[in-house]
Structure formats: C-alpha cells, structure tokens
Amino acid sequence: MSEPQHHVEPVHALLADGSTALIRPVAPGDHEQILSLYEEMSPENLWFRFFGASRSPGRTAADRACATGRPGHLALLAEVRGKTVGLAEYERNSRPDSAEISLAVGDAVHHRGIGTLLLEHLVSAARNRFRNTLLVG
C-alpha cells in the first residue's frame, strides 16, 4: 500500500514568550540551516538528540531531513525571524500504526514551547496521512 503525500501548510504559532515561530515542512534548500542548528548545539543538547556529543551525526540528520518525497517520512522545522531553531521528524516503521520520531531544538530557544509545537504539528500531520492511507488503502 502506498502512502499518499499531502501538503502540510506552513503556520505561524505563538510561543510561550509571546513571539511567533513559523512551522513548515522542510525543503531541500534548508540543508545548511538545519546543519547550523546542529552545529550550534551544546554537547549536552547533542547528547539528548543523538546519544553522543559528536557533531558528525548532524550532517546525516540534515541530509535525511532534506530528502523529500520518501513515503512514511515527514520533517517539519521551526523558524524564528528566518532562522531555523527546531526540527521534528517522523519515520514510519514496520508496524503500520506507529513511527519513530526525533526532535531537536536549539539551545538559545529552549523553554519557549518550540518543541511542543513541533511535536503537535508533526502528530497532526501524521494522523492526517495515516487516516488518508486507511481510506485509500
């Protein structure tokens, strides 16, 4: 069964401090911004994301996030004033009703609700895609 691809609309979301972030799907041209997100992370933040403090997995993660059109995968990013500050992805696994997720938020913007917003939008998009897959399949 193939998974239909549906457009995810960009949205502006209100952050905990009253500012806004643009939540949108990742595009191939976002590679350098995503790579910068990982390169600017503290060793502790890298550890929580990759279970290691090395910066090398950041390039692989940016490559994966920017590879468009893969069935069962979606990557969303958060931008504040044009700068990528967060990334959330899902990748469906062998069970048709589950997926693995990853989430990264830049150190400078922790505790503003960016991770929560990314996760909410990612889950909503996944539910819509899954629901439509069941209707089509």
Asked whether residue 1 is domain-assigned, the answer is: no
The total number of structural domains in the chain stands at 1
Each residue's pLDDT tens digit, 69-121: 788 899 999 999 999 999 999 998 888 778 899 999 999 999 999 999 999 99
Question: What Cα–Cα distance (Å) separates residue 120 from each residue in 31, 53, 89, 125?
Answer: 23, 27, 12, 9
Asked whether residue 4 is domain-assigned, the answer is: no
Asked whether residue 85 is domain-assigned, the answer is: yes
- The terminus-to-terminus CA distance of the chain in angstroms comes to 6
Asked whether residue 28 is domain-assigned, the answer is: yes
Asked whether residue 2 is domain-assigned, the answer is: no
Asked whether residue 25 is domain-assigned, the answer is: yes
Q: In terms of residue numbers, what domain contains 107? A: 11-136
Please give the model's pTM, rounded to 2 decimal places.
Answer: 0.87
CATH code of residue 76: 3.40.630.30
Each residue's pLDDT tens digit, 16-68: 999 999 999 999 999 999 999 999 999 999 988 888 877 788 899 999 999 97
